[in-house]
Structure 1
Amino acid sequence: MGDVVRVGLLGCGNVGAAVARMLHEHGEEIARRAGTAIEVTRVAVRDLEKPRDVPVPPGLFTDDPYDVVRDRDVDVVVEVMGGIEPARSLILEAFRQGKPVVTANKELLATLSRELFESAAAGRVDLLYEAAVGGGIPLIRPLREHLAGDRILRFMGIVNGTTNYILTRMTEDGWSLGQALADAQRLGYAAAAKAAILAPIAFDLRVAAGDVYREGILSISPDDIRFAKQLGYVVKLLAIAEGIGDEVSVRVHPAMIPAGHPLASVRESFNAVYIEGQRVGPLMLYGRGAGGDPTATSVVGDVIELARSRPGGGANSLIGHAAHTGGPSELTPRRLRPIEEMQAQYYMLMRVADRPGVLAAIALVFAEHMVSIKSVWQEGHAEEAQIVLVTHQAQERDLRACLQGLRMIDTVKSVSSVIRVVDGEP
């Protein structure tokens, strides 16, 4: 890198255009903070004829992304295309060219992180990805650097703004899920991808998105929202990772959390991650988790970090994640705990026939499977009767066996909802 850090952009959609505008409009402040000017010198797009409101001369655009990666006048490659391919191949080519990469691609990192980090380490270049999880919220660097001396016990995050907006509307305006979004299950994967990116940093183990247990919010009903409020809870889709001895649990699912918990107040499309450290205690990082400008803020921050590393000798700086997760020997051999072995409280909603003995039959099934009932009440009567029940801590495997037993009772018409309760009791 010379006196100017020259950026090659792969993609010029919402995020890429916002990166170009930020580097142009904040150029003087960025140069002061980075110690050098930073300029966009090449941009790869799909359609050269499409009009774009970006401060980049037309001659710098190309429809061949390899022109950007292989251009000798590009010092840093910024990948904001999304998806697996061609993003993967382009990033690997950038590493072969000896160029550091900044990416916002959560899907790629959650799926192929090992290949990417090992390739970056082999090429002695950096791979930075602050924008891949929380958009404009700084999460990667605080976990990787600022909290490196502490032991992370658990993090819980609202990391999908769309699902949080849906649940906010269901809670505050009485929406049904159908009114909110028809394709909500897909968003559970997006949250799982982000959990898979954060968990290796917090707990020193390799996790792919496919390793993360996940449930979406399709099963959440207005009744669940109403009963949660009566119980003093709020329903959120949480990405959770926690250390349990030599094991780590990583999962994404709807959960009821106490209305007084900091995450309960995260509304609309905002994101937040609540971190618990052994020494630092609890802290929460909160903000816009998506959108062009918030995400571009994190992307530009990573580019500035790369520019600042130049005096140390670019190839020797290795400030990125590739520096310490390049090889499997550097990761602690920790087991991912299956969801069946997890302990939790559970909320359950059943539709039952309002007949004598129905509660006794239900209680017997719970007792047979060693699941203790904390509270129970009945709503409605006759054909409209519902039983709302909350358990004490129980193992997931026992709870599932209990559900099978309940479905064998002729007076139980359906078990319509099962939601885990987080931090409901010590």
Structure 2
Amino acid sequence: MTSKPIGVAVLGLGNVGSEVVRILTENAEDFEARIGAPLAIRGIAVRRVDGDRGVPAELLTDDPAELVGRDDVDIVVEVLGGIDIPRKLVLSALEKGKSVITANKALLAEYTGELADAAEKSRADLYFEAAVAGAIPVVRPLMQSLAGDRVNKVAGIVNGTTNFILSAMDETGADYAETLAEAGRLGYAEADPTADVEGYDAASKAAILASIAFHTRVTAGDVYREGISKITSDDLETAKSLDCTIKLLAICERIVTPKGKERISARVYPALVPLNHPLASVNGAFNAVVVEAEAAGRLMFYGQGAGGAPTASAVLGDLVMAARNKFYGGRGPLESKYAKLKVAPMGDILTRYYVSMQVADKPGVLATVAAEFSKRDVSISTVRQQGSGDGARLVVVTHLAADSALSDTVASLEQLDVVVHVASVLRLEGTTV
């Protein structure tokens, strides 16, 4: 006897939506066996229904609100992108008791609390594995596998576009603009790459990861953010000389203030990473996330972080879970926000700095520069002088210090007569000194 089909509405038919529909259709019998009931696609919302979209025309609609409200729809898959329209549709679905699977990190990073409240009130499921790191399972391990542990840090490379650009710059010696153009030609970078290269995409994902890992609501606005557009080929060459590479990192961790208060740090920026660190070898468009927990120790998740098929894999994993819950009468994990930890300002975080500056080629420059660090109790780890004359360059790497003190030091360096120009300021991660 065949069980009653579970109705699915798909919102969006781009790269991810197309793959979701294709895999669902081609593997219908497998999905039915895994779930206990068949999945039936009730409709697919698109902007325009004209043209050959590769799916039965009768499934297409340009009225997503009507599709979400249909009585024969049990689960809504949202892969539209954007915030305002998806927010209304997802809220509508949850308020009607329909389960929602979304890959929309920007939406979740802004409105995860509102959506979680709606899901809890109507006893609906809200799944979003695909919103962070594509096919890599990170959300579910944090929410379920490590639910009995204490997570202290989550750090990783969560944006494939920027990782491709930095990897290519490192390998070829090309500059940022040239490599960005190549990324666009190969389809790794959008026509407007701002969300990727300025760190907005990674900040959204960091907010989601921090919220889950530390049982606290964190939004994208809470995340300190810097992008990669100022990284130069010289920076990467200097990094090599320090046995490092440069990666755009999303870092979420528990910290304790000097007054003994527990806080959260959530930040995104390009950083020097030692070559012996596991994230240093993650190249191209791949993503990786390292989780540090008290009992489990260090765990690393690595794989395809974007793309139609990899992201669809994560969406479909969530869909199977939601459908099983519908069939058997269960529920997915609820939002955990009991800790309510405050997010520490960036200035309170202990970091290390790499500072590259063009300086005057004359005696006493090093002593003058070092004095500015000493005034703010910032200890210098290494100093390298490169070139001479108008090309004289000084590279300073510090020990751990408060980020505010390091920032003030850099600001003071730019006022010195012996410093022609502070060319680059990067943080150094993956060390403890």
TM-score w.r.t. the length of structure 1 is 0.95
- Which residues in structure 2 correspond to 1:149-298 (within 5 Å)? 149-181=148-180, 185-187=194-196, 188-245=199-256, 246-298=262-314
Q: 1:184: how far off?
A: 5.4
Q: How many residues align?
A: 415
* Deviation per residue, 1:327-378 (Å, 9 max, x gap): xxx4213111110011111111010010111011111111111111111010
Contact 1:120 1:126 in 2 (8 A): yes
Q: Distance in 1 between matches of 2:133 and 2:375?
A: 44
Q: Distance in 2 between matches of 1:333 and 1:14?
A: 37
Paired residue type of 1:216: G
Q: Secondary structure at the match of 1:401?
A: helix
Q: Secondary structure at the match of 2:367?
A: helix
Counterpart for residue 380 of structure 2: 373
Q: 1:186: how far off?
A: 2.8
Contact 1:289 1:295 in 2 (8 A): yes
Contact 2:135 2:305 in 1 (8 A): yes
Paired residue type of 1:293: A
Q: Distance in 1 between matches of 2:51 and 2:80?
A: 16
Q: Distance in 2 between matches of 1:32 and 1:266?
A: 36
Paired residue type of 2:42: T
Counterpart for residue 340 of structure 2: 333
Matched, 1:309 2:310: no
Contact 1:184 1:217 in 2 (8 A): no
* Deviation per residue, 1:120-166 (Å, 9 max, x gap): 11111111111111111111101100011111111111000000000
Q: 1:185: how far off?
A: 4.8
Contact 2:154 2:209 in 1 (8 A): no
Counterpart for residue 34 of structure 1: 35
Match of 1:319 among 332, 335, 345: 332
Paired residue type of 2:97: G
Q: Secondary structure at the match of 2:300?
A: strand
Contact 2:3 2:38 in 1 (8 A): no
Contact 1:105 1:132 in 2 (8 A): yes
Q: Secondary structure at the match of 1:181?
A: helix
Q: Distance in 1 between matches of 2:271 and 2:348?
A: 17
Q: Distance in 2 between matches of 1:333 and 1:425?
A: 27
Q: Distance in 2 between matches of 1:345 and 1:97?
A: 50
Contact 2:217 2:340 in 1 (8 A): no
Contact 1:24 1:39 in 2 (8 A): no
Q: Distance in 2 between matches of 1:176 and 1:26?
A: 45
Counterpart for residue 83 of structure 1: 82
Q: 1:312: how far off?
A: 4.0
Paired residue type of 1:301: G
- Which residues in structure 2 correspond to 1:334-413 (within 5 Å)? 334-413=341-420
* Deviation per residue, 1:251-290 (Å, 9 max, x gap): 0001111101111111100011011111111111111111
- Which residues in structure 2 correspond to 1:34-113 (within 5 Å)? 34-54=35-55, 57-113=56-112
Q: Secondary structure at the match of 1:134?
A: coil
Q: 1:19: how far off?
A: 0.4
Q: Distance in 2 between matches of 1:407 and 1:8?
A: 57
Structure 1 unaligned segments of length 5 or more: list them. Answer: none
Q: Secondary structure at the match of 1:166?
A: helix
- Which residues in structure 2 correspond to 1:1-16 (within 5 Å)? 3-16=4-17
Contact 2:8 2:42 in 1 (8 A): yes
Contact 2:45 2:62 in 1 (8 A): yes
Contact 1:184 1:216 in 2 (8 A): no
RMSD: 1.5
Q: Distance in 1 between matches of 2:164 and 2:271?
A: 15
* Deviation per residue, 1:68-110 (Å, 9 max, x gap): 1011111111111111121111111112222111111111000
* Deviation per residue, 1:276-309 (Å, 9 max, x gap): 1111111111111111111111111111001222
Q: Secondary structure at the match of 2:372?
A: helix
* Deviation per residue, 1:379-411 (Å, 9 max, x gap): 000100000111111111111121122122111
Poorly superposed stretches of 4+, deviation over 4 Å: 182-185
Q: Secondary structure at the match of 1:242?
A: strand
Contact 2:75 2:323 in 1 (8 A): no
Matched, 1:140 2:153: no
Distance 1:264 1:289, change over 3 A: same
Q: 1:35: how far off?
A: 2.0
* Deviation per residue, 1:24-64 (Å, 9 max, x gap): 1122222222222222121111111132123xx21121111
Q: Distance in 1 between matches of 2:3 and 2:30?
A: 19
Answer with 43-52 or 351-360: which moved more: 43-52
Determine what percentage of the aligned residue pairs are the same residue. Answer: 47
* Deviation per residue, 1:204-254 (Å, 9 max, x gap): 111110110000001111111000011011100000000113111000001
